[in-house]
């Protein structure tokens, strides 16, 4: 069974992305649009902006700031920019064999979510297939407030054999 490991998008994609120039944060037609149109545009992009108790002027300035700096937000996993995460080495207690745990049982709905989220993470470059890892930990799906699932990994068995890092 294939495993997954976190990919280092910085080393893999830096050379390919050096030629990309930043796009303007917002087009001229959005900068001069009425407030309701700006809010509708931001809501279509996934921003949860509603007219709140803030004064009209401050709310309008807030919406303008979101439009001006919308390029710093990610709208999906593939929008997340390159990162400089380091590969983490962990030390286990001496004479401990690597732990490979079987996956937990999942119902059909959860299995579909796992497949979708793994495909998204793979396409975004956050994980890569790993055939030869001596460790394997089961995944857990946790239901969040909006009835979707958060993808988690149960590392309790791995934590048991690792030396504490202070």
Range of the domain at 107: 3-12+86-161
For residue 35, name the pLDDT band (cuts at 50, 70, 90): confident
CB-count burial class (<10 Å; 0-12, 13-18, 19+) for 38 = buried
The verdict on 90 and 39 lying in the same domain is: no
The per-residue pLDDT for 3 is 58
Mean pLDDT score, 137-145: 90
User: 23, 53, 79: which is the final residue of a domain?
Assistant: 79
User: 23, 49, 79: which is the final residue of a domain?
Assistant: 79
Overall number of domains in the chain: 2
The verdict on 31 and 60 lying in the same domain is: yes
The verdict on 52 and 114 lying in the same domain is: no
State the chain's mean pLDDT as an integer.
75
The verdict on 53 and 99 lying in the same domain is: no
Query: pLDDT of 86-125, one tens digit each?
Result: 667 778 899 988 888 998 999 999 999 999 988 888 887 7
């Amino acid at each position: 069974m294939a495993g997954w490991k976190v990919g280092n998008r910085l080393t893999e994609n830096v050379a390919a992305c050096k030629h990309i120039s930043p796009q303007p944060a917002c087009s001229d037609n959005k900068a001069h649009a009425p407030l309701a149109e700006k809010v509708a545009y931001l809501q279509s992009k996934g921003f949860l902006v509603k007219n709140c108790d803030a004064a009209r002027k401050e709310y309008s300035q807030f919406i303008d700031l979101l439009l001006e700096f919308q390029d710093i937000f990610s709208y999906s996993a593939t929008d997340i920019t390159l990162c400089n995460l380091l590969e983490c080495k962990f030390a286990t207690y001496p004479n401990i064999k690597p732990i490979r745990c079987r996956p937990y049982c999942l119902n059909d709905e959860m299995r579909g979510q796992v497949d979708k989220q793994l495909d998204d993470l793979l396409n975004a470059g956050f994980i890569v297939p790993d055939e030869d890892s001596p460790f394997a930990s089961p995944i857990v799906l946790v239901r969040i407030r909006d009835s979707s699932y958060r993808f988690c990994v149960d590392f309790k068995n791995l934590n048991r054999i690792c030396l504490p890092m202070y």
